[in-house]
Structures are given as C-alpha cells and as structure tokens.
Amino acid sequence: MRADSAAASAALSNAAAEQAEPVSRASRSGSSDTLGILDALLPLGLALIREARWRLAGALGLMIAFSLTEGVGVLLLFPLLQVAGLDLTHQGEAGRFAATVTKAFAAIGLYPSLPILLAIFVVLIGARTLLSRMQSDAMFTVEQQFETAMRLELYRAISRANWSYVALCRSSDFAHALSSELSRTAQAAFEMMVLGADLILTGLYLLIALRLAPAMTAIVLGCGTVLIAALRNRTRQVNQAGEDISISMNSLFAAMSEHLGNLKLAKAYAAEDRNYAMFESATHAVQDANLKAQRAETAASAWFELGSAIILGSVLYIAIRILAVPPAAILILLLLFARVMPRFLGALQKWHLLVNAAPAFVNLTAMRSRFEAASEPEPSEHAAVPQLRREIRLAGVSFSYGKESEPVLRDVNLAVPAGRVVALVGSTGAGKSTIADLIMGLAAPSSGRITVDDVALDVGVRRKWRERIGYAASDTVLFHGSVRSNLCWANPDASDAEIHEALERAAAREFVAAMAAGIDTAIGDRGATLSQGERQRIAIARALLRRPALLVLDEATNGLDSATEARMLDALESLRGRTTVLMIAHRLSTIRWADLIYVIENGRVVECGDWKSLLARAGGRFRALCDAQALSA
C-alpha cells in the first residue's frame, strides 16, 4: 500500500486477507439453521422500521386495506350463491355464515340482489385496483428510502474510519458493498414487505376457512406446518446459495477493479488474455452461484407445490367421506383454498428470495460495524486548532500496522520548524511516508507523542489539523472531470485568480492554457489524457490552492523533467517563511534548497542537518546516498 515500506505492505496484505474472511465465516456460522436465518432477518426488519417508520406504517395500512377489499369480495360469494338459487339454509356452518353476512347487509340497509351485488363487486374491483397501485408505490418508496439510508450510513462509516484501518481494505470491497450488496439488501427489504402483505391476506382467508370448517382447516394447517418443516433443509440451501452469491460477486468486483484499473499495464505486458481468463473465471463463478440459488428455490417451490396438492386431495377425501362436510361448504372451501394455495406458494417463494438476499444485509451491517468501531472521533468543539506558528515535533514516536507486525518506525525524534523547508530522505522502506502520514494525522503513533505548537495531535484535533494541510504524492489521484473541477475540489471557493496563481506556482499554467478549453478541459479518468508530470503539477497546484499551513510533497516531483522541476521549485521558494513544506524525495537534487534534512533508515532518524553539513560527513549515510546519485558536489 505504501511505496516507502515493503514490510508495511506485507503487513497490509496479510491484514486485508484476514479482513475479508471473517464476514463469510460469520455469515455461514450464523445461518446453519432456521434460528440463524431469523437472527439475520430480525435486524433487517428492525432496520427497515428505523429508517422508514412512518412510510412503512402507511404501506402496511394500504396492505391491510387491500386485504380487506379481497376479504369482502370473498364474503360476497355467499349472497351470490343464494341469489343464483343455491339454498344454504341447511348447509351447516356455511348456511349460518351466509345468514350472518345477510344480516350484516341488512344492518346497513342493503338487501342482496344481483344488481346490488354486481355493483358492489365493481366498486370493490375499482377500490382494489386503486389500493394496489397505492400499495406498490408506497412499498417501492420505502424500499428506495431504506436503500438510500443504508448506502449513506455505510459510506459515512467508511469515510469516517481512520486511514490505518481503511488502508487494510480493497476499494473493490467498498464498491461491491455500496452497489451489489445494497441492491440485494433493498430487495430483501421489499420481499419482507410483500411477504407481510401476503401473510395478512392469507391469514384473512384462513380465518374465514376456520369459521366454515374448523376441523378441515386445522388439518390443512397442521399438514402445511409439517411440510414446511420437512423443507427446512431446502431453505438452508437457498440461504447458502445467497452467501455464495455475495462471495462470488465480491470476487468479480475485485477482478473488475484491478483489471480495468491496470488495463494499460496489461496491454503493455500483452497480458490481456490472462486478465480475460481471470475475469472469465470470476464471471462464471457468479453465474454458477446464481444458477445454484435459482435451482434451490425452484426445487423447494416444486416440492411444496406437490406436497400441497397431496395434502389438499387427502383433506378433501377426509372432509367428504369421513367428516361429511356439506357440499356448499366444500365448494366455498375449494374456492378459498384455490386462492390461498397460490398465495401461500407465493409467500414461500418470497421467503426464499428473502433468505437468499439476507447474507448481503449481514455482510453490510458487519462491514459498517467494523468501520464504525475504527472511526475517528468527531473533533472536539473546545479543542485548540493547531496554527503551526512554531514547530511540529515528534517525540519518541513508534508505529506499526498491527500488533503482530514489525514496527515501521522506532523511537523517532524530529522537529519541523514553521515556515521552513524540511526534507525526509532514505532508502525505500525506511519509513518516510509513514512519518508524513503521522504528521498529517492520518495515523496515530503506537507510542510517543506528536505536537503542533505544543498542541497534542490527538483524536480531538486531527481532522481540524488536516483542514490546514496541502498534500501531493507520486501516485497522483485526479478525478474524471475538468482541470478546474479537480482544483476546486480542494478549495470550492477559489477564484479564477487564485486558480491561475496556483497553476503558476506549480509550473502548470502554460500547458493548461494550451489545452483546447483551458482550465475547463476534461482530463479523462484519473487524468488519463495527461502525462505523469502534468498530473503531478495539477496535483501540486491543487495542494497550493488550499493555501495550507503545511504543504506535504511525497515524491510529488518524480515525474517532472529537470527544467520543469527547477521552475516549480523556484516558484515554491517564494513560500519560504510563510508556508511550512515537508518534502519526501529519492532524487536528492530536489532537496538542495531544504533548510533541514532528516535521513531515515530502518524506521529511525540516523542523521540530521542541512545539505552542506550532511555532505561534509565522510562515511555518513547522506553522503553515501549522494555518492550513489553522483551528487557529491
């Protein structure tokens, strides 16, 4: 992750690998049975209530109203049968229920007749159509509100986490979580609401069936419960398939990010076919996971449908031959069950879709919890904001990327005087960029103390301190957009005059002015239309536009030719005394103008002084570095 520390990079890689596995393991161990699945779904339901409380209540109200209209439609069967000439008087429970319905109509001044019943039927259909549309709109609104809230919460948790923790993760994991996993989580929330609507309506039908034939309905419910229990293993398979989808999609996102991000390198190595083969493998893994999920769901639905038909046939035989249920009740029950069974089957399918998508929610909440635990505290309102009028000081500072990893820095003591140019030099992996990260407040020392004007750079002031810093590195990051938008990202209120001044100081004004649209020219993805040197100059101009108290240049000029570098350094010379500059360089000619140079080796400060005094030390480390670059003079 860091160019200046091979040991740190190894530690980051190991830690990142450890970060990815616990989510899948936790998900798998938590979903080994029905209780585990419910443990995953209960937080989803609570999160849905929390994020869309009133809209969800409105959607549920519409579901109930929609169900009631269908229930009234079922009740109309009884007077319709009577109007059609079927005498229900001596039809047992069906006859008594029909009489109750007739009395209810009479209580509101209506006496069942064909025109009245048909008019009520038409009104009900209209009401159902309207309520169905309103219910669908309300549920979709809740789904979108829930997805938006979850996405913002996760993004905030990621952006607020300390950099040392974020550096352990792959950016593709974030992209996967914020897109694919969130979409599946929103789907799970929607299926949960639809399942709730189906269960409400199914419950209404079952209440009517229990009123007509309690024994027969109880047998159906008992057999249905046994059937669902028998299919529990199928539900586990659906949930397992959902976990496999999350894992395979994460791998696909990683392949997409890495291969497309390094497409130029792949072409330079003529490795497109190898990249394609890896991407193809990840894509087929996603396909296989989706097919596995589909097959598990359809198999469970098929077995349930077959079992339901067997149960219904057996119950009808018992009702007719043993319980002697009256024909009218049998007819009405058949109509009821003809409506109930498809809905029950639909509810089961939605349950499987919900179970399949549940691992995505588990992964999201686990990721968010980890990043919230690693978050930087909000700046203290009463904390002093460092002004950098005297110095930055590191006293006995040590740092490592984890308890098990080797220290990157060991007992570092150094000072950066305000208004001066200070350089850090040393071999690759010495710890120079890590020192810069600590000074910028991107990481916290494992031991020791960092102060700015005697103000401790602790958790309460780090974010406020970073507002006063400009930063440019060798691995320049530019955004897809224009030169102006890239510069103003650092200072949205910058005027054109300030922008041109920053470009001038970064030796970038001439080449920007020569572009087709000047500072409004689009520069492509990550500045793809620019050379490395041009990208670095834009990044330096962006840092200068902040008018920082501290300007950190981490190998920020290694892509510049000698003439351009000299021009830029001459322009930066005018900052001396007003802006503190911390430079990290391998090309030592860049730091001749530094007021103070620290030589870092193996995480320690081994030499300190200006150019002449360090060069005069025969046998010194700085002298050896200069000799290696033929800079002894």
pLDDT tens digits for range 521-537: 888 877 788 888 888 88
d(CA 20, CA 399) in angstroms, rounded, equals: 24
C-alpha closest to that of 463 among 444, 479, 440, 484: 440
pLDDT of residue 213: 64
Of 78-92, 187-201, 451-465, the least confident: 78-92
- String of b and e for 342-362 (b: at least 16 CB within 10 Å)? ebbeebbbbbbbbbbbbbbbb
Residue type for position 251: S
Q: What percent of the chain has pLDDT over 90?
A: 9
In terms of Cβ atoms closer than 10 Å to its own Cβ (0-12, 13-18, 19+), residue 54 is exposed
pLDDT of residue 262: 67
Tokens of 64: 């109930």
Of 160-164, 345-349, 466-470, the least confident: 345-349
- Rounded to a whole number of angstroms, the distance between the first and last alpha carbons of the chain is 35
Give the pLDDT confidence of 400-411 residue by residue, as tens digits: 877 777 888 999
pLDDT of residue 355: 79
Q: Are 375 and 160 in contact (CB under 8 A)?
A: yes
Is the confidence at residue 112, as pLDDT, over 70? no
- Across the chain, mean pLDDT equals 77
How many CB atoms neighbour CB 1 within 10 A?
A: 15
Of 330-339, 360-369, 459-468, the least confident: 330-339
SS3 call for 482: strand
pLDDT of residue 573: 77
Separation of CA 533 from chain center:
34
More confident site: 104 or 170:
170
Is the confidence at residue 14, as pLDDT, over 50? no
Is the confidence at residue 100, as pLDDT, over 90? no
C-alpha closest to that of 298 among 341, 336, 353: 353
d(CA 118, CA 116) in angstroms, rounded, equals: 5
More confident site: 617 or 378:
617
In the chain the domains, ranked by start, together with CATH numbers, are 31-373 (1.20.1560.10), 382-468+549-566+582-633 (3.40.50.300), 478-547 (3.40.50.300)
SS3 call for 608: strand
d(CA 399, CA 419) in angstroms, rounded, equals: 27
Alpha helices in 322-431 (DSSP H): 327-373
Q: How confident is the model at residue 454 (pLDDT cuts 50, 70, 90)?
A: confident
268 phi/psi in degrees, rounded to 5: -65, -30
Q: How confident is the model at residue 395 (pLDDT cuts 50, 70, 90)?
A: very high
Give the pLDDT confidence of 543-590 residue by residue, as tens digits: 888 888 999 988 877 767 777 777 777 777 777 888 899 999 888 888
Give the pLDDT confidence of 302-348 residue by residue, as tens digits: 777 777 777 777 777 777 777 676 666 666 666 656 666 666 767 77
Kindly state the DSSP code that residue 376 receives in the 8-state scheme: P
SS3 call for 164: helix
Q: How confident is the model at residue 26 (pLDDT cuts 50, 70, 90)?
A: very low
> For tokens 């649209």, what's the residue?
517
- String of b and e for 163-179 (b: at least 16 CB within 10 Å)? ebbbbbbbebbbbbbbe
d(CA 315, CA 225) in angstroms, rounded, equals: 14
d(CA 178, CA 172) in angstroms, rounded, equals: 10
Is the confidence at residue 222, as pLDDT, over 50? yes
Tokens of 446: 């494992």
Separation of CA 264 from chain center:
28
In terms of average pLDDT, the best of 32-46, 84-98, 230-244, 535-549 is 535-549
C-alpha closest to that of 582 among 597, 601, 562, 602: 597
